[in-house]
Amino acid sequence: MRMVDIISRKRNGESLSIDEIEFFINGYMEDEIPDYQVSALMMAIYYKGMSEEETAHLTNSMVQSGEIIDLSSIEGHKVDKHSTGGVGDKTTFIVGPLAAAAGLPVAKMSGRGLGHTGGTIDKLEAIPGLQVEISNEDFMKQVNDIKLSVVGQTGDLAPADKKLYALRDVTATVDSIPLIASSVMSKKIASGADSIVLDVKTGSGAFMKTIEDARELAKRMVEIGNKLGRNTTAVISNMDQPLGFEIGNANEIKEAVQVLQGEKIADLRELSIELVSHMTILANVYSDVETAKKELAKLLDNGQAFEVFKQFIKAQHGDTSVIDDLTKLPSAEFQLEVEAPKEGYVSEIEAEKIGLAAMHLGAGRQTKDDSIDHAAGITLQKKIGDYVKKGEVIVELHSNSNNMESSKKLCLEAITISETKPEKSPMIYEIIT
């Protein structure tokens, strides 16, 4: 088999066989096939696409390139949740304990990553003492004991994806739906769960700006999951503005705990319940989504989900007094209030700009060696549809640096105030099964 023939077949719009896909992934991992040939193939795929079969084969080859986590010593049906990423997305801290309170074992491995705020693991580290590096044995035992553990990723999952993604990033081939779908699913499948719920975000603050693209990506990922033996459901959700009111690390933990304590932070609570309802359906805990949502709302309102969260913090050596008294979470030395420049309705909050403003305050990292300030972040005082008077506070900035001017400027650019009230768009658009 020759790589040049594989490239030309894809360039001509033909389908690649399983053997050809394995040949190029294995050859690339062994450094027998050079970057320039793989770049040419990525560009051919970008233009000619891939069939359902090809995408599943590509995903599987990437899964097989590394470690596959074995969760078989954990009792029960393991369902993982994955979000395609958005600003203010702290659902993991609500979804995990809520699913666990409903009886599902939640064995979550998460990353740090680059971005506007830290990743799941960075956010958790805002809780003093909390340990995210625990042995595999203790991880499994904790999930069997209290149904929930969240730890930092250790294994080398889907290394072929890492190598391909770095190449795609510099060859303008990231924005290809079959390549994105196989990339995301390779990591999820290697994580070892029995079933997967995907939160595919769409809107100005999401990777997928239009509902059509989000639907296409969701369908692709669900097909791959189902073909590779993992029942998968995708929820298409709204990312036209940040999720909830808090963007950062400690402040996102605070907001998640408030939802776990039964506070009705509308968009965050709705999305969390929606995601867990599909997890419980896949695990056969409830038979229909409506019943699931009612029961899950009760688990938030009666404090059972909050209780699981506290047990989880305690099991991982975190200071639970911080959870009972949220004012004890890390807080920043300086605060700056951003005021509305005019009166009217908030009609737009560009999530990406708000995220960038949070990063300037110290909440995220630009390069992997940057450190994170757990106390830095943004609190929105208003959301789309709210009415504001001129001079009213719309955003609060928190930082340990006294210079917050660039973040203030970004927030003012991000928020549009209009005379007419904007139409309310739904939090959940579609469910793809």
Enumerate binding residues for ligand URA (CB under 6 A): 165, 174, 179-180, 183-184
Least distance between ligand URA and beta carbon 371 (Å): 24
- Cα–Cα nearest to 341, from 382, 391, 404: 391
**Which of 10, 168, 215, 310 is an active site residue?**
168
Concerning whether 328 is annotated as a catalytic residue, the answer is: no
Least distance between ligand URA and beta carbon 350 (Å): 20
Please, which residue, 67 or 270, has the CB nearer to ligand URA?
67
Least distance between ligand URA and beta carbon 183 (Å): 3
Please, which residue, 200 or 296, has the CB nearer to ligand URA?
200
User: CB of 131 within 8 A of CB of 261?
Assistant: no
**Which of 83, 110, 183, 191 is an active site residue?**
183
Supply the DSSP string of 178-244, one letter for each residue: HHHHHHHHHHHHHTT-SEEEEEEEESTTSSB-SHHHHHHHHHHHHHHHHHTT-EEEEEEEE-SS-SS
Please, which residue, 184 or 323, has the CB nearer to ligand URA?
184
Please, which residue, 77 or 187, has the CB nearer to ligand URA?
187
**Which of 81, 82, 269, 365 is an active site residue?**
82
Concerning whether 82 is annotated as a catalytic residue, the answer is: yes
**Which of 80, 89, 122, 161 is an active site residue?**
161
Least distance between ligand URA and beta carbon 172 (Å): 13
Concerning whether 374 is annotated as a catalytic residue, the answer is: no
Please, which residue, 220 or 360, has the CB nearer to ligand URA?
220
> Which residue pairs, CB below 8 angstroms and at least 24 apart, start in 227-231?
227/52, 227/53, 227/56, 228/56, 228/59, 228/60, 228/63, 228/185, 228/189, 230/188, 230/189, 230/193, 230/194, 230/195, 230/196, 231/194, 231/195, 231/196, 231/282
User: CB of 236 within 8 A of CB of 430?
Assistant: yes
Residue 279 DSSP SS3: helix
For 346-366, letters b (16+ CB in 10 Å) and e give bbebbbbbbbbbbbbbbbbbe
* Tokens encoding 248: 């950062």
Least distance between ligand URA and beta carbon 181 (Å): 8
Concerning whether 168 is annotated as a catalytic residue, the answer is: yes
**Which of 187, 230, 254, 278 is an active site residue?**
187
Q: Which residue is nearest to ligand URA (CB)?
A: 183
Q: Which residues carry out catalysis?
A: 82, 161, 168, 183, 187
